[in-house]
């Protein structure tokens, strides 16, 4: 098998983001740093993994549910 037949993965197009609409606010973004107890951080990571989303997406979803 020739070495030039290696499959290459393509990155997703920037025009079709794979993130929910609440994760991409149209007005821009600001960074927020929050100190959490280790147990809460683990719970967030576990919940995000169960849903198959990032911690960021999970937090944004939770904020959206609260009307924020």
What is the tens place of the pLDDT at every residue in 46-62? 999 999 999 999 999 99
**7 pLDDT tier (thresholds 50, 70, 90):** low
Task: Give the SS3 label for residue 21.
Answer: helix
Q: Check residue 23 and give its pLDDT.
A: 54
Q: Check residue 16 and give its pLDDT.
A: 44
What's the mean per-residue pLDDT of the chain? 80
Instruction: Give the global pTM.
Output: 0.59
DSSP string covering 4-17, please? GG---PPPPPTTS-
Domain extents in the chain: 33-68
The maximal CA–CA distance of the chain, rounded, in angstroms, is 56
């Amino acid at each position: 098998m020739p070495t030039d037949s290696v499959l290459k993965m393509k990155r997703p197009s920037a025009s079709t983001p794979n993130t929910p609409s609440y994760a991409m606010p149209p007005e821009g973004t600001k960074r927020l740093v929050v100190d959490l107890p280790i147990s809460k951080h683990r719970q967030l990571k576990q919940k995000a993994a169960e849903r198959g989303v990032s911690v960021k997406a999970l937090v944004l979803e939770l904020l959206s549910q609260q009307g924020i």
